């Protein structure tokens, strides 16, 4: 029987998670942030094994955050804001170079946060694309504008090759499990601003604490 991680991806599920992410005072709930990523990883897995190296990395980072949430300090990780405060107050972050905390919550979330910017740019391109536009081009452009700045040559090369395997626009919209292309586009219209808001709040928080370049 398929376990929960093998279930089919549904864009609605990701949208719901990112909706639940924001508290009334604009804090980001870790549980829902991680749930959003788990939904995205399901989609990536359904696109084929060529994306395995990307989904493995995202899954391992998601797992690190879930482990913090389940630990004895779990309540300190309830929101991204409380995690940053807790880890900085207790000097649990390698700030300048890798040291004894190579997998701190702050540096792990930063990697996913940078990928969220790629997602925002990619989904916005998809939302405004025309029928015969290529998903591989949208994906590459979004990647070059965001994550690529943080990746070494070999990763950029491997990612670039994987993009060629993306299904065309109609196939990609179908994988989202939403309905007609028009319905997917409408849902993207809701999802992109939400993802963008979560991204901006995190970016401002990390900027304020000088955490945007964590090794």
Ligand X SMILES: CCCCCCCCCCCCC/C=C/[C@@H](O)[C@H](COP(=O)(O)O)NC(=O)CCCCCCCCCCCCCCC
Q: What residues are paired with 119 via a beta bridge?
A: none
CB of 24 to ligand X, least distance (A): 26
Selected binder of ligand X within 68, 77, 86, 143 (CB under 6 A) = 143
Q: Is 18 in the site for ligand X (CB under 6 A)?
A: no
CA distances for 146 relative to 74, 137, 142, 166, angstroms? 31, 14, 6, 19
66 versus 166: smaller Cβ distance to ligand X:
166
**Among residues 16, 27, 31, 57, the one that binds ligand X under rule CB under 6 A:** 57
- CA nearest neighbour of 105 among 141, 81, 139: 81
Contact 214, 107 (CB under 8 A): yes
Neighbours of 73 (CB within 10 A): 15
> Rounded to the nearest whole angstrom, what is the least distance from the CB of residue 141 to ligand X in the complex?
11
Nearer to ligand X, 75 or 190 (CB): 190
116 binds ligand X (CB under 6 A): no
Interior angle at CA 117, CA 116 and CA 119, nearest 5: 60
Please list the residues that pair with 133 across neighbouring strands. Answer: none
Helix (H) / strand (E) element for 166: namely none
The 95-114 site mask, x for binding ligand X (CB under 6 A), equals: ----------------x--x
Site residues (vs ligand X, CB under 6 A): 11, 40, 43-44, 51, 53-54, 57-58, 111, 114-115, 118-119, 123, 139, 143, 147, 155, 159, 166
């Amino acid at each position: 029987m398929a376990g929960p991680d093998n279930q089919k991806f549904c864009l609605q599920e990701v949208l719901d998670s990112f909706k639940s992410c924001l508290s009334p005072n604009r804090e980001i709930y870790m549980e829902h942030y991680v749930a959003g990523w788990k939904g995205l990883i399901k989609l990536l897995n359904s696109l084929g094994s060529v994306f395995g190296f990307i989904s493995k990395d995202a899954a391992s980072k998601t797992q690190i955050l879930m482990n913090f949430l389940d630990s004895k300090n779990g309540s300190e990780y309830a929101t991204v804001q409380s995690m940053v405060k807790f880890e900085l107050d207790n000097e649990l972050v390698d700030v300048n170079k890798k040291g004894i905390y190579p997998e701190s919550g702050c540096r792990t979330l930063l990697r996913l946060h940078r990928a969220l910017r790629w997602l925002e740019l990619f989904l916005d391109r998809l939302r405004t694309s025309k029928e015969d536009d290529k998903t591989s081009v949208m994906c590459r452009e979004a990647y070059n504008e965001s994550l690529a700045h943080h990746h070494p040559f070999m990763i950029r090369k491997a990612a670039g090759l994987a993009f060629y395997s993306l299904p065309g626009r109609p196939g990609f919209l179908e994988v989202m499990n939403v309905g007609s292309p028009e319905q997917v586009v409408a849902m993207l219209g809701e999802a992109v601003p939400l993802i963008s808001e979560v991204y901006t709040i995190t970016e401002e928080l990390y900027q304020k604490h000088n955490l945007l370049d964590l090794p």
